[in-house]
Chains A and B, each alone.
Chain A
Amino acid sequence: MKPVSVMRKRIISLVAPLFAVMTALLLSTLLIAATGRNPLMIYHKMLSMTFGSDYGTGQIVFRTTSLLLTGLAVAIPFRVKLFNIGGEGQVLAGVFAAAFTGILLPPQTHPLIAISICSISAMLAGSMLALLAGWLKVRLGINEVISTIMLNFIAQAFVGYMLTWHLSVPSTVHTPEIVQSAQIPMADAVIGIWRNSPANMSTVLALAACLGTWIVIFKSTAGYEMRAAGLQPEAARYGGINTDAHILKAMAAGGAMAGLVSTNLVLGYKHFYEAGLGSGIGFIGIAVALLAYAHPLWIIPSALLFGFLEYGGLTVNAYVPKDIFMMVQAVTILMVLVLTKKPKRP
């Protein structure tokens, strides 16, 4: 009886996301039809303007890159049973820190050094914010959901103030450009595809982050301890594992991943910080992580799906409201939650 139920659990966890996506697709078909449009026509348009085109693919890759990182920002703390809702604030802190350091660097800095300094300061900024929530949790038992939400507000207020009062280029809502050497090359310039799209080489970094996270969580001794601390904190303590330290580490790592979004948005694409940059990405990261069961490698297809829905919605916005695709995203997540939930009563 027991092995059968184990198998069944594994199968459910594989099939549930697929089933959820199918249901959501069905729902969107109905919704599109309800607006009076032909769903097939819309899907056809959407496909040809996304994966069907070089530019569209680049757009999806660009969006996916950010989502990989915010997905990790949620997934890593999830391993120690912490729900990091602070992706928004941590992305903002990182994006702002990268733009700020990028302005200050001397123009003749070697590109590798310049990019490293900007990314590291972005990671530190994201980390600090997340770590604060982790510390409140460990020290005072304050719920991390509440503290990370509050920290989102604080980050927004602080960055907004810094931008309008100190850093914006007069009569604009953005900072000056970062030095040339801190800019990450566009995909087009390096591999000659995705022309004119915002896709840039930071995608490689984000994929490496997924792989690295997977190795750390599932192959390293630190990851072993971290998983134990998340699954069974009391047993972990009996086994001589410092659970508090792992909570702090997981939050710090999650915040750092959110901070890394700046490599895509600032170093790779905009080259400055402007009001609203990165907004919403942190929240979609929650959905990305949930759909992937917080698994660092499953995050890749999950982020790709959400990246596709994000940009795909835009491409057909002229025919149907893109809000339909926001609903699709939300329904997908709800379905996964429903399908993987054990019923309360047999």
Chain B
Amino acid sequence: MNAIGLSGVSKQFGRFWANRDISLNIGSGSIHAIVGENGAGKSTLIRMIYGLLTPTDGSISVNGHVVRFTSPRQAIAAGIGMVHQHFMLIPDLTVTENIILGDERSALFATLDRKQAARKIKTISENHGLEIDPAIPVSELSVGEEQRVEILKLLYREANILILDEPTAVLTPSETGQLFATLKSLRNNGKTVILVTHKLDEVLSVSDMVSVMRKGRIAATEQTSSVTKGDLANLMVGRNVLLRTENPPEKTGKLVLKVSDLQYRDARGRQKLNGLSFEISSGEIYGIAGVEGNGQSELLAMLWGMIEPGSATSGSITVDNITLSSKTPAEIAAAGVSLIPEDRLKHAVIGEFAVGENMIFGRHREKKFRRFGGFDTNSIRSYTNTMIERYDIRYDKQSNPSLSSLSGGNQQKIVLAREIERPGLKLLILAQPTRGVDIGAIEMIHKKIIATRDKGIAILLVSSELDEIISLSTRIGCIYKGAIRQEFSPEDVRKGRSSEQDFEKEIGMFIT
């Protein structure tokens, strides 16, 4: 029996086909993963199943019956539920109230039977490992717990087909494990789960079937047990990709960055950094592993002179014995430091500016780009062209588009090119350098990072992707509650790389 059947489904936006001729069967009582790079059309596909979009062509059936949903309401009635990437919960209401909201089953102005609802919620959560206290307000929950509430909401409404769009993007490693246990338990109880993700390890560890999407089409649908990570990656990109970046031994030089005893108390009085110290020498990559919210953002803010007003900080930061504390971003950059911030779109580029204008953004004070009171457009153009070639940046040059119309990977390459090629660079700070970037581009970005290290530049890498940290770093520091809790030496890391699973677990113990 198929829970969902798609035959010849297409979706067109303007002249662009986001989904093209998709035929796919999702077996009842299975976990079916849909993988693909950003923009492959995964979200479009499930939004059609959930009634948020209507297909341009083709037909969708649920439990064998052809349906044509025009709104999610109809999908819900047919037993389909979806966990959105952005949760739709009301912070001031309790877990129970949030779950029954919109499904109160009582007449207007009649009292709610909260007790019975709470009992039902308790049973569901015990059966599927969805631990939660139904009586506390949602505002006190962690992100992982909020997601559990979203899933409970669907189960409370007796949804039989659950759709999750990139559910692990916001979770810690242990929360991810817990979520997967829940999904398996649901599957064993006969529910159907559609899991959208771009992380291949997750697919392999949890799904029964996997469909790979590429450029709006289904490239393949396979039994998960019969494919490898490499197969999936090749199918996603459409060519052979190396998942493991070549990482030759490094030659470490003299000390560049010295961070000692950083303290950071934010405007609301919360201690975000608590005696954080580490050092980086030239020619090495220092990876900071940790769950988000353990002080990474505050460390980056201090390194870049962007401390929030109202917060109290202390400690010292020096680059080549020049102190950076109380300097502005412009002065820090002039001292030979580059930062690739986490939120590229918000902090590293101007979406409306053209590619050339972004290529010099933050470096526009350099003499070689200037002429009289303005810019030397010839020098900027030739510099941009050089970078486009060196970093394999792809876009339609003829139309001189604004940056925001480039893909995420190409935008990130522009930022990377600009920051790596800064004259007199001593320290490169990378925050989540491959977030939202396609596998094909990740390979290239990782290579550039290693090459930069080999030019004798000190690199700080902050990433929540453990495999990225492990494959690139010379040394690894585990950040937990605003301090480095454990540091792994180059020997540890080299050894760890040969048995990555165990190493990830070991690191995991120090960051939670």
Using a CB–CB cutoff of 8 Å, the interface residues on chain B facing chain A are 13-16, 304, 306, 328-331, 333, 339, 341, 346-353, 357, 361-362, 364-365, 370, 373-375, 396, 399, 401-402, 405
**With a CB–CB cut-off of 8 A, which chain B residues contact A4?**
14-15
Q: Indicate the member of B361, B399, B401 with the most A CB atoms within 10 Å.
A: B361
**With a CB–CB cut-off of 8 A, which chain B residues contact A227?**
350, 353
**With a CB–CB cut-off of 8 A, which chain B residues contact A240?**
328-331, 333, 362, 365
Known: A238-B341, A240-B365. A231 touches B352 (CB 8 A): yes
Known: A238-B304, A240-B328. A6 touches B399 (CB 8 A): yes
**With a CB–CB cut-off of 8 A, which chain B residues contact A231?**
350-353
Task: Please state if B350 and A232 are interface contacts (CB–CB under 8 Å).
Answer: yes
Q: Indicate the member of A221, A234, A237 with the most B CB atoms within 10 Å.
A: A221
Task: Please state if B405 and A2 are interface contacts (CB–CB under 8 Å).
Answer: yes
Identify which of residues 197-242 in chain A touch chain B, using a CB-to-CB cut-off of 8 Å: 215, 219-222, 224-225, 227-228, 231-232, 234-241
Q: Tell me the bound Cα distance from A305 to B409 in angstroms.
A: 46
Which secondary structure characterizes the binding site on chain A?
helix
Residue A7 interfacial (CB < 8 Å): yes
**With a CB–CB cut-off of 8 A, which chain A residues contact B333?**
240
B221 CB to nearest chain A CB (Å): 26
Known: A6-B401, A238-B306, A240-B362. A224 touches B347 (CB 8 A): no
Q: Tell me the bound Cα distance from A215 to B374 in angstroms.
A: 9
Task: Please state if A228 and B304 are interface contacts (CB–CB under 8 Å).
Answer: no
B361: contacting residue among A1, A219, A234, A239, CB under 8 A: A239
A345 CB to nearest chain B CB (Å): 13
Residue contacts A-B, CB under 8 angstroms, 17 given:
A4-B15, A6-B405, A215-B374, A221-B370, A224-B364, A225-B364, A231-B351, A232-B346, A232-B352, A234-B346, A235-B346, A235-B348, A235-B361, A238-B341, A239-B361, A240-B328, A240-B362
Task: Please state if A239 and B362 are interface contacts (CB–CB under 8 Å).
Answer: yes
Residue A343 interfacial (CB < 8 Å): no
Q: Indicate the member of B15, B351, B362 with the most A CB atoms within 10 Å.
A: B362
Chain A interface bracket (under 10, 10 to 19, 20 to 34, 35 or more): 20 to 34
**With a CB–CB cut-off of 8 A, which chain A residues contact B370?**
221
A242 CB to nearest chain B CB (Å): 8
Which secondary structure characterizes the binding site on chain B?
loop
**With a CB–CB cut-off of 8 A, which chain A residues contact B401?**
2-3, 6
**With a CB–CB cut-off of 8 A, which chain B residues contact A2?**
401, 405
Count CB-based A-B contacts (< 8 Å): 80
Q: Indicate the member of B13, B333, B347, B357 with the most A CB atoms within 10 Å.
A: B347
Task: Please state if A221 and B329 are interface contacts (CB–CB under 8 Å).
Answer: no
B343 CB to nearest chain A CB (Å): 9
Task: Please state if A222 and B373 are interface contacts (CB–CB under 8 Å).
Answer: yes
Identify which of residues 4-47 in chain A touch chain B, using a CB-to-CB cut-off of 8 Å: 4-7
Q: Tell me the bound Cα distance from A4 to B16 in angstroms.
A: 10
B84 CB to nearest chain A CB (Å): 17
Task: Please state if B373 and A235 are interface contacts (CB–CB under 8 Å).
Answer: no
Nearest CB in chain A to that of B330: its residue: A240
A238: contacting residue among B339, B375, B405, CB under 8 A: B339
Nearest CB in chain A to that of B16: its residue: A1
B162 CB to nearest chain A CB (Å): 26
**With a CB–CB cut-off of 8 A, which chain A residues contact B341?**
238
Nearest CB in chain A to that of B406: its residue: A2
**With a CB–CB cut-off of 8 A, which chain A residues contact B349?**
232, 235
Q: Tell me the bound Cα distance from A5 to B13 in angstroms.
A: 11
Q: Tell me the bound Cα distance from A222 to B373 in angstroms.
A: 8
A221: contacting residue among B351, B362, B375, CB under 8 A: B375
Known: A3-B399, A238-B329. A220 touches B304 (CB 8 A): no
Q: Tell me the bound Cα distance from A62 to B422 in angstroms.
A: 52
Task: Please state if B348 and A238 are interface contacts (CB–CB under 8 Å).
Answer: yes
B329: contacting residue among A7, A215, A228, A237, CB under 8 A: A237
A14 CB to nearest chain B CB (Å): 16
Nearest CB in chain B to that of A219: its residue: B374
B407 CB to nearest chain A CB (Å): 9
Task: Please state if B374 and A239 are interface contacts (CB–CB under 8 Å).
Answer: no
Known: A221-B374, A238-B341. A1 touches B352 (CB 8 A): no
Q: Tell me the bound Cα distance from A239 to B339 in angstroms.
A: 10
**With a CB–CB cut-off of 8 A, which chain B residues contact A222?**
373
B498 CB to nearest chain A CB (Å): 38
Identify which of residues 236-258 in chain A touch chain B, using a CB-to-CB cut-off of 8 Å: 236-241
B117 CB to nearest chain A CB (Å): 33
**With a CB–CB cut-off of 8 A, which chain A residues contact B357?**
224
Q: Tell me the bound Cα distance from A1 to B16 in angstroms.
A: 6
A109 CB to nearest chain B CB (Å): 31
Q: Tell me the bound Cα distance from A234 to B341 in angstroms.
A: 12
Closest A-B pairs by Cβ, 10 of them: A240-B330, A1-B16, A239-B362, A2-B405, A240-B329, A238-B347, A219-B374, A3-B399, A232-B350, A220-B373
Task: Please state if A1 and B13 are interface contacts (CB–CB under 8 Å).
Answer: yes
Q: Tell me the bound Cα distance from A223 to B349 in angstroms.
A: 17
**With a CB–CB cut-off of 8 A, which chain A residues contact B373?**
220-222
**With a CB–CB cut-off of 8 A, which chain B residues contact A7?**
399
**With a CB–CB cut-off of 8 A, which chain A residues contact B347?**
234-235, 238
A12 CB to nearest chain B CB (Å): 14
**With a CB–CB cut-off of 8 A, which chain B residues contact A232?**
346, 349-352
Nearest CB in chain B to that of A3: its residue: B399
Q: A6-B399, A6-B401, A6-B405 are in contact. List 4 more A-B contacts (CB 8 A).
A: A232-B351, A238-B329, A238-B348, A240-B328
**With a CB–CB cut-off of 8 A, which chain B residues contact A225?**
364
Nearest CB in chain B to that of A238: its residue: B347
Q: Tell me the bound Cα distance from A222 to B370 in angstroms.
A: 11
**With a CB–CB cut-off of 8 A, which chain A residues contact B348?**
235, 238
Task: Please state if A235 and B350 are interface contacts (CB–CB under 8 Å).
Answer: yes
**With a CB–CB cut-off of 8 A, which chain A residues contact B351?**
231-232
Q: Tell me the bound Cα distance from A288 to B456 in angstroms.
A: 56
Nearest CB in chain A to that of B357: its residue: A224
**With a CB–CB cut-off of 8 A, which chain B residues contact A3?**
396, 399, 401, 405
**With a CB–CB cut-off of 8 A, which chain A residues contact B306?**
237-238
Q: Tell me the bound Cα distance from A241 to B333 in angstroms.
A: 12
B412 CB to nearest chain A CB (Å): 14
Nearest CB in chain A to that of B369: its residue: A221
Nearest CB in chain B to that of A346: its residue: B13
A199 CB to nearest chain B CB (Å): 33
**With a CB–CB cut-off of 8 A, which chain B residues contact A215?**
374
B396 CB to nearest chain A CB (Å): 6
Task: Please state if B364 and A5 are interface contacts (CB–CB under 8 Å).
Answer: no
**With a CB–CB cut-off of 8 A, which chain A residues contact B339?**
238
Known: A4-B15, A240-B328, A240-B329. A228 touches B374 (CB 8 A): no
Nearest CB in chain A to that of B14: its residue: A1
**With a CB–CB cut-off of 8 A, which chain A residues contact B364?**
221, 224-225, 239
**With a CB–CB cut-off of 8 A, which chain A residues contact B16?**
1
**With a CB–CB cut-off of 8 A, which chain B residues contact A224?**
357, 364, 375
